[in-house]
């Protein structure tokens, strides 16, 4: 259904270029659900916008290909892509519930979206709107409501209904439950799972919450610093992750099955600044197992098991990594190393500042 090859996306910023996505490749089969996870700024939302050419004016696809049913979307005109949106690829974006027009009823907006991409009459489009509202658990009378008359959860479900209205081949859900409380979030995730199975659309689910992916996706792709760190089927990933970043992520979310587990362990440090040139593995600064090779050479995404890929130079040492990654001291050593580096940089800057002041005198 979808074959993304070496996709790179850049943003022009003051003083240079920020490469938000750098050589990302993945595939999406028919009726498959793929979860893309990672920290804020890792490039996951940029991928969604790039697929549909919805990048802001300062953004552009700088390399790679996006094959949709064998047809390369990169290079297609804005009008060609516009005709595909909603009808063949639908997007539910972050805080999409705030995108509803406050002066028109929700039903009118959904009917307009349906008729814009089909030859349905108003009556047929209304019947379809009633149908998709039922799928997301909303009553027909809510079509006559204005956005301010609906709760946050209802508005989000209305947006999901709009995305489903033309039964697209692919649904891209970008953080669709971020602004909702956990109870409403749970209900919407259940609806998404149910609908995904009913209409057999492929789905890309983008989130920073790895536990959400465990519920709704068959395959998981972990991103960091604009690159893919690991791709695996969800069961395999949670049972036996390979990449050190994935091992760190597992320590950072709670488990209700591991009785007596210690308090959560976070990954020290911050993601890389993608406006600066990157060398080696993107994760090496925060990785407790990094070597000089990791600092100077970027590892390729390699097959480690059936349908399981990891971008690490030391995939063969994963058993020892898993044992060590569960210990707090392992990550505390990284914290100390980062703090020492910051102190050295501060001291160096202070010396440079004093030298400049001396030269001025």
Domain boundaries in the chain? 2-217, 241-354
Helix (H, G, I), strand (E, B) or coil at 346: helix
Residues 6+ apart with CB under 8 A from 89: 51, 52, 68, 168, 169, 170, 171, 172
Q: Supply the pLDDT for residue 260.
A: 53
CB 73 within 8 A of CB 66: yes
Q: Supply the pLDDT for residue 188.
A: 75
CB 309 within 8 A of CB 232: yes
Helix (H, G, I), strand (E, B) or coil at 160: helix
Residue 259 to residues 184, 255, 262: CA-CA distances in angstroms? 28, 8, 9
Q: Supply the pLDDT for residue 251.
A: 79
- Predicted TM-score (pTM) of this structure: 0.87
Distance in angstroms (rounded) separating the CA atoms of residues 280 and 131? 51
Q: Supply the pLDDT for residue 140.
A: 92
Q: Supply the pLDDT for residue 137.
A: 83
Q: What is the CA radius of gyration of the chain?
A: 23
Q: Supply the pLDDT for residue 132.
A: 87
Distance in angstroms (rounded) separating the CA atoms of residues 290 and 338? 13
> Within 13 A of 92's CA, how many CA atoms are on the CB side?
28
CB 346 within 8 A of CB 354: no
CATH 3.40.50.300 fits 2-217, yes or no: yes
Distance in angstroms (rounded) separating the CA atoms of residues 127 and 111? 9
> Tens of pLDDT along the chain (361 residues)?
899 999 999 999 988 899 999 999 999 998 899 999 998 889 999 999 999 889 999 999 999 999 998 899 998 888 888 888 878 898 887 666 677 899 999 999 999 988 888 888 999 999 999 988 888 888 999 999 999 998 888 888 888 888 888 888 898 988 877 666 777 777 777 777 777 777 788 999 998 888 888 888 999 999 999 999 999 999 999 999 999 999 998 877 766 665 555 567 889 999 999 999 899 999 999 999 999 999 999 999 999 999 999 999 999 999 999 999 988 899 999 999 888 887 876 665 666 656 566 655 5
Q: Supply the pLDDT for residue 299.
A: 96
What number of other Cβ atoms are within 10 A of residue 355's Cβ?
Answer: 10
């Amino acid at each position: 259904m979808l074959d993304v090859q070496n996709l790179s996306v850049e943003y022009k910023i003051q003083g240079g270029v920020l490469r938000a996505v750098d050589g990302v490749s993945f595939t999406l089969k028919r009726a498959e659900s793929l979860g893309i996870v990672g920290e804020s700024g890792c490039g996951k939302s940029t991928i969604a916008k790039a697929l549909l050419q919805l990048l802001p004016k300062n953004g552009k696809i700088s390399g790679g290909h996006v094959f949709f049913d064998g047809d390369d979307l990169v290079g297609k005109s804005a009008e060609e892509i516009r005709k595909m949106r909603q009808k063949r690829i639908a997007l539910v974006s972050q805080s999409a519930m705030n995108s509803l027009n406050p002066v028109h009823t929700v039903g009118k907006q959904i009917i307009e979206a349906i008729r814009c991409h089909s030859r349905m009459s108003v009556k047929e489009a209304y019947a379809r709107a009633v149908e998709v509202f039922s799928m997301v658990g909303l009553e027909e009378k809510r079509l006559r409501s204005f956005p301010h008359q609906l709760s946050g959860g209802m508005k989000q479900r209305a947006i999901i209904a709009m995305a489903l209205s033309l039964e697209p081949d692919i649904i891209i859900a970008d953080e669709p439950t971020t602004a909702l409380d956990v109870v409403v979030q749970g209900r919407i995730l259940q609806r998404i799972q149910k609908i995904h199975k009913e209409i057999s659309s492929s789905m890309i689910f983008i989130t920073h919450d790895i536990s959400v992916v465990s519920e709704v996706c068959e395959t998981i792709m972990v991103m960091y610093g604009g690159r893919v760190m690991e791709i695996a089927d969800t069961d395999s990933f949670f049972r036996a992750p390979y990449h050190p970043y994935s091992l760190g992520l597992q320590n950072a979310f709670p488990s209700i099955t591991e009785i007596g587990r210690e308090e959560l362990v976070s990954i020290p440090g911050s993601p890389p600044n993608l406006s600066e040139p990157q060398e080696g593995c993107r994760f090496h600064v925060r990785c407790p197992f990094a070597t000089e090779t990791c600092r100077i050479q970027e590892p390729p995404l390699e097959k480690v098991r059936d349908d399981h890929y990891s971008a690490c130079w030391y995939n063969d040492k994963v058993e020892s990594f898993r044992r060590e990654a569960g210990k707090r001291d392992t990550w505390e050593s990284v914290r100390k190393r980062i703090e020492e580096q910051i102190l050295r940089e501060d001291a160096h800057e202070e010396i440079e500042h004093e030298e400049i002041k001396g030269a001025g005198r």
